[in-house]
Amino acid sequence: MNLFFKIVFFIGVFYNILLLVSGDYTSDTKAMLSIFTINCFLAFFISFLFKKNKHSCKIAFFLIVLTNISFLMNTSGWNEGTMTGTSYIIPFFQYITDWLYGFLLISAFMGFIPVVLYLVFIYSIVLFFCKRKSETLYK
């Protein structure tokens, strides 16, 4: 990918971080912006660290998915009515945990189609940072 597009992309991510820090937004907005920012940083750093590895895109995709699964393990006693947990291991990730659980709850009633779309979204973020897209992912 061209360096210009990566710079523009990181300006967007930086703007998202500024929105998170300075704005008075709902917890869902904070969660979505936080997940997007964390996924982008993970994809960038993994593709940067494993440049010479032909499986760097696959590694990045699976680590991002595992990171999102680890966000789900952050709480205990998640309530479907209030859509919040009773206690959190890392309170900083409270919004992300609640949003992901709510997303899974709503997806359960929609045949898990939103989960598939979310995985496609993660896959597209990883593809954005991979230099050899067709060689690495389709072998």
Question: What's the pLDDT at 133?
Answer: 46
Tokens linked to 49: 């660290």
Of 37-41, 51-55, 112-116, 124-128, where does mean pLDDT reach its minimum? 51-55
Mean pLDDT of the region 61-71: 94
Secondary structure element (H or E) that encloses residue 76, with its range: strand 75-76
Segment (H or E) for 88: strand 87-88
Per the prediction, the chain carries an average pLDDT of 82
Mean pLDDT of 8-16: 72
Residue 53 region by backbone torsions, left for phi larger than 0, else alpha for psi between -120 and 50, else beta: beta
State the total domains in the chain.
Answer: 1
Percent of the chain exceeding pLDDT 70 equals 81
Structure tokens at 43: 């994809």
Question: pTM surpassing 0.85?
Answer: no
Q: Which residue range forms the structural domain that includes residue 10? A: 3-137
Written as six digits, the tokens of 36 are 């997007």
